[in-house]
């Protein structure tokens, strides 16, 4: 999942609406009871609950994307830019080295 600078509540709403066929986007009775019985819960806390639920609904593997890539590889259309790949490997390696204590 790519992290953008967008409002998590909007992302959760869009994701829940997209996956409505998979599972109801409405809060469960447990979630309703907890939000109604705990008025001290902040809006941010409720938003995080919605974001977590949206993440749980997303599949671990994007099967459409995997199928597209497999088809490109099989047909020989998939091209790897070796320069970009090498750059990413080096940047990631340097970043990991800098993060070490």
Domain chopping of the chain, boundaries: 8-99
CA distance 23 to 43: 23
57: exposed, middle or buried (Cβ count in 10 Å: 0-12, 13-18, 19+): middle
How open is the CA angle 1-59-48, to the nearest 5 degrees? 55
What is the tens place of the pLDDT at every residue in 62-86?
888 999 999 999 999 999 999 999 9
Q: What whole-number percentage of the chain has pLDDT above 70?
A: 59
Contact in structure between 49 and 10 (CB atoms under 8 Å): no
Question: Global pTM?
Answer: 0.34
């Amino acid at each position: 999942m790519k992290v953008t600078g967008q409002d998590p509540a909007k992302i959760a709403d869009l994701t829940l609406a997209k996956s409505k066929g998979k599972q109801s986007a409405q809060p469960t009775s447990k979630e309703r009871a907890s939000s109604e019985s705990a008025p001290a819960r902040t809006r941010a806390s409720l938003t995080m609950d919605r974001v977590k639920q949206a993440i749980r609904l997303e599949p671990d593997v994007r099967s459409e994307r995997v199928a597209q890539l497999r088809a490109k590889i099989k047909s020989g259309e998939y091209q790897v830019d070796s320069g970009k790949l090498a750059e990413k490997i080096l940047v990631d390696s340097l970043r990991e080295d800098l993060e070490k204590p």
